Amino acid sequence: MTAKIIDGKKISDEIKLEIKGEVDRLREKGIIPGLAAVLVGDNPASALYVKMKAAACEKAGIFSEVIRKDKSSSNREILELVSKLNQRDDIDGILVQSPLPSQVDEPAITMAIDPAKDVDGFHPINQGLLLAGRPMFEPATPLGIIELLNRSGNNPSGKDVVVLGRGFLVGKPLAAMLSNKAPNLNATVTVCHTGTRDIASHTRRADIIIAAIGKARFLTGDMVKPGAVVIDVGTNEIDDPTHPKGKRLVGDVEFESVSQVAGAITPVPGGVGPMTIAALLQNTVKAAKLRHHLK
């Protein structure tokens, strides 16, 4: 068996086209969704990611502003900046790109963002609404994963899903979302982590495996049930002397062995990554509609 490749870029392009149509309709009403991205420091990966988000916004017709702050910026400076963005009428969504310098209190910054502009979905109010089953904004990567599953014909409803990883950004919110009672969710979810005994015994019975454990090539072919759907969230840099840069990105899944067993699999890159940006745009448009009391 050779797994079908789930093309995250293709699906994200379809979503972005839908978003553009929605933004065009909002513009006809005089409403221009706006997203502000705060980049603190000079982390190359963060800078590239913010650039990609801004480019996606521009293509969709969403106003985008990138605010760059020096890596020596104080916690107070970032809090004051967030406060000003909360008050701006041209900004519907605010994201402060992680990671932040050590002197900046990331949880405090998250708390300072107006929950109605928290398009990353990390504010405790949004996390609480998510757990209550009536979310306002869902975190972009988990939301992107659920879109990816449903749009590729792999509705998780009624399925046994194993989530590898219990992180705040992906594992925890994704497990909560997948178990919510809704036609495109409603899964039976097992969360595996460093304290789980015999992880393979869980993954071998799963219909869907979502690997967000942060370990390069952790999930191997012998851990997967034939025909299972495997979603790889990992982005790990490994040494590769054959690559022009001497390094390359791999996921949390050993693609070569797992693709010979699974029914469908996402690649790295080109799987979950593009979906995260598409989901962020979805949340930004949703924020604009909520602010203007539109459905």
182 Cβ contact list (under 8 Å, min separation 6) = none
Measured between alpha carbons, how far is 268 from 123 in angstroms, rounded to an integer?
29
Q: Is 120 a catalytic residue?
A: yes
φ/ψ of residue 255, rounded to 5:
-55, -45
Residue with token string 């054959």: 242
C-alpha distance from residue 232 to each of 8, 176, 191, 260 (Å): 11, 18, 15, 15
Spot the catalytic one: 16, 97, 118, 282: 97
Spot the catalytic one: 120, 207, 232, 252: 120
C-alpha distance from residue 26 to each of 70, 115, 286, 291 (Å): 35, 22, 11, 12
Q: Work out the number of other CB atoms within 10 angstroms of the CB of residue 17.
A: 11
Q: Work out the number of other CB atoms within 10 angstroms of the CB of residue 227.
A: 12
Strand order in the sheet with 188-192: 4-5, 264-265, 229-232, 208-211, 160-164, 188-192
**Are 226 and 257 spatial neighbours (Cβ–Cβ below 8 Å)?**
no
Q: At what angle do helices 140-151 and 272-291 cross, to 10 degrees?
A: 110
Measured between alpha carbons, how far is 203 from 161 in angstroms, rounded to an integer?
9
Spot the catalytic one: 16, 53, 69, 286: 53
Q: Is 53 a catalytic residue?
A: yes
Q: Is 103 a catalytic residue?
A: no
C-alpha distance from residue 137 to each of 120, 143, 146 (Å): 7, 9, 14
Residues tagged active-site: 53, 97, 120
